[in-house]
Structure 1
């Protein structure tokens, strides 16, 4: 039985939704699914999408943001250029005010960082946010190679069955929402299904809501500007390195249970026991006195934060003050491209007890920064 009559047949904005998707192999063929389908099926034209919506009485019509062909000759060819944020009302105790607070902060973060104006839709059970970005195929870049993160992408790792680009999709959602997105929403290329606007959510209909209240509605339209994704891929790379370090530290502690009773301070090669607050790593102390115009984010999370928190054992509040003071000095050389308090807060809260990189290992991990510090004569006090 049809739930819509001849006078109120929906007119889904297929062209608008497809405009969000960008693929080197074209938009079609792609996958979609509906209330009447048994899983996903292939569609090849806009007309076929609309026909399938009609056959399903416009209920639960979803389309994949990525094309069916993502791999060619064994190589991933599809970039993770569509960020999908899912904010489910049920995860906020069905409190619309709590949900709106996170929705607003997510949109504000996108605006502040990238000047973006994404699509916002109401699904009947929460919000979807669609943010198209310009980004490369990460798996094909050396710095994102799975070989560099063997713990994360091993057969027993958290992302064993993922492309690196798919891990990025999930990271981006967590990043913009500060981890408040639906925990059950783990987008991948094959599962990135978005609800087509002006179709109906069957869960709402089953609760007895009207057609109008069950309709997927666009609340804000994307402005058509695909933002540069370099800033967030940089954040993602930092996150990957941090996760790999944490996994290595965890494995090391499990294999050597006495290790937790001593602290090794990277950069000196010395082991110490109790009184750690007076310990100094001179090259990092010197760095804190020198403003720099690049590599500020890297210095914060890889050097300064772990040094202050886990070597000097300074409180989070004092660590934040020291980092903010250093960034203020750096901003006189070159304006920051991020909001310092948000960045500092995220780095401190994400700290898992790892130590700063040693000066000798810095050369391999970040040669550009290493050479810069050499010019500043920090190598003479690296011990």
Structure 2
């Protein structure tokens, strides 16, 4: 039984790692488990499995972004390559049927992603939240062969002083809010803590590992279609967002 479970987890680890095909390299990368608590930086698939086994497959997660380093020049190597959206039952705490409401929010989110980007993301149900994971790149011309960084959209030095994190983190936070916000749903989104998302904390729950809060074994609801999605369509909205924040920062600074 343990061997079968290990094989299943191995396949699911490989499935999650397949989402990072456009990142240049897979390792080093952070993982977390119940035993480790804090992030552990690993260098290969075998190390991931070993840590998961040692934790009895409990609270096993893999970061959606690789680890480059702590220096500013290292962060410049990052570009949006994975959209990560975490919607959980706290959004529906006052609802009579919380899970039904959360499913409704999930469907709205997936429909908006598909309508605006044609993307089909992976969706994982952890027993408390849905993890939505979509590999992305930014191409502005159909003939482009290489993805663009956010520097292509706007020089980061112009905006970094006016945002809280690196531009890639700011972008994935913006995208999470953008795709989950609907006209009748704004209050719910304001209550969701998307500002905690960063390139260092996009931890994806591995399917068939155990959520210790409710002893639920995470399951795949929808599989990524294998196509890296072009997200150029929301780049102008992101630019508008950080330009507004810059303007607000300057106005506040003058007072």
- TM-score class, shorter: 0.7 to 0.9
CA distance 1:70–1:21, shift in 2 (3 Å): farther
Shift of 1:73: 8.7
Q: CA RMSD in A?
A: 2.4
Q: 1:186 aligns with which of 182, 185, 196?
A: 196
Pick one of 5, 8, 13 that aligns with 1:9.
5
Matching residue of 2:121: 118
C-alpha displacement at 1:30, in angstroms? 1.0
Return 5+ residue gaps in structure 1 as ranges. 154-158, 206-213, 256-383
Contact 2:160 / 2:167 at 8 angstroms: preserved in 1? no
Q: Distance in 1 between matches of 2:102 and 2:245?
A: 29
- Contact map agreement 1:60 1:199 (CA 8 A) in 2: yes
1:197 to 201, 207, 215: 207
Question: Where does residue 91 of structure 2 map in the other structure?
Answer: 91
Aligned to 2:39: 40
Secondary structure of 1:52's partner? Answer: helix
2:149 is aligned to 137
1:7/1:134 Cα in 2 relative to 1: closer, same or farther (>3 Å)? closer
Say if 1:229 and 1:15 are closer, same or farther in 2 by CA, change over 3 A.
same
| Aligned equivalent of 2:174 | 171
Aligned to 2:142: none
Structure number with greater CO (CA < 8 Å, separation at least 6) is 2
Q: 1:250 to 1:22 in 2, by over 3 A?
A: same
Using the size of structure 1 for normalisation, the TM-score is 0.56
Contact 1:65 1:82 in 2 (8 A): yes
Q: Distance in 2 between matches of 1:218 and 1:15?
A: 14
1:104 aligns with one of 80, 88, 107: 107
1:51 to 1:185, Cα distance in 2 relative to 1, 3 A:
farther
2:177–2:194 contact (8 Å) kept in structure 1: no
Q: Which has the larger Rg?
A: 1
Gaps of 5+ in 2: 139-147
Q: Do the aligned partners of 1:83 and 1:169 also contact (CA within 8 Å) in 2?
A: yes
- The runs of at least 4 aligned residues of structure 1 exceeding 3 Å deviation read 5-8, 22-25, 70-73, 246-252
Higher strand proportion, which one? 2
| Superposed displacement of residue 25, structure 1 | 4.2
Over 3 Å counting, the alpha-carbon distance change for 1:62 and 1:18 in structure 2 is: same
CA contact (8 A) 1:133 1:226 kept: yes
Q: What whole-Å deviation, never above 9, does each CA across 1:23-82 have from its counterpart, x for those lacking one?
A: 554101111110001411121221221121111100000111111125789251121211
Q: Between 24-33 and 169-178, report the one with greater CA deviation.
A: 24-33
Aligned-pair CA distance for 1:133: 0.6
d(CA) in 1 for partners of 2:71 and 2:152? 16
Contact kept? 1:89, 1:96, Cα under 8 Å: yes
